[in-house]
Amino acid sequence: MNTAPTQTTTAAPVELGLDARLAMVGALMDERLSLANVAFEVDTAHIPAADPLPEVVAPPHVVPAAAPCLYSTPLAAVLYRAQQRMERDGWTTRQLRDEQGAACCIGAIRAEAAHRGQADDACVLLLEAIRRDFPQADTIPSWNDTQRNARLPVLYLGRAAHLANARNQ
């Protein structure tokens, strides 16, 4: 008996697009999640109903104590406290202080100085410290307003405090 040879054809694998693959994976994950949910319900069916969770109350806001002043001289102490105030309350430009308590360099110094003369002397030292690295700085407010963040104003208050301490002021 003569039979014709049979041809077997193999279909080329079909390339699925991204949407089709995502749909297949999504359907597979939905099935797995359904089975996991049923298994969880079966595993926890014997547990009696738990009491409702107690209300969680946030702890009170604790403000850390101020660091002790590193300087014993009066102007250095004022500049150090102004630096600490600016780190704690924030920094601002174009005004001495804002509604939230943030201050510019002069605003922080005035808030910490005992009197206007002490604030003026501290500002003179601050301007000297600034001009060592920024000789084009005309005034403290103009320099303060050109800064993008509080990093340099805080740094230069610290440098001025160090300078005042070195001069025993």
| pLDDT digit string, tens, across residues 118-137 | 999 999 999 999 999 999 99
Q: Residue 96: is it exposed, middle or buried by C-beta count within 10 angstroms (0-12/13-18/19+)?
A: middle
Residue 151 lies in a domain: yes
Average pLDDT, the chain: 87
Residue 36 lies in a domain: no
Residue 126 lies in a domain: yes
Residue 7 lies in a domain: no
Residue 52 lies in a domain: no
State pLDDT tens for residues 90-119: 999 999 999 998 999 999 999 999 999 999
Query: What value does the mean pLDDT take over residues 27-50?
Result: 83
Count of domains forming the chain: 1
Structure tokens at 56: 């969680």
Q: Domain containing 91: what range?
A: 74-166
Residue 121 lies in a domain: yes
Residue 96 lies in a domain: yes
Between 55 and 39, the higher pLDDT residue = 39
The pLDDT assigned to 51 comes to 60
- For the entire predicted model, the pTM comes to 0.61
Residue 115 lies in a domain: yes
Rg (CA), the chain: 35
Sign of CA dihedral 40, 41, 43, 44: positive
Of residues 75, 67, 49, 37, the one with CA closest to residue 160 = 75
| Per-residue exposure over 51-73, b if at least 16 CB sit within 10 Å of its own CB, e if not | eeeeeeeeeeeeeeeeeeeebeb
Whether 47 shows a pLDDT value over 70: the answer reads no
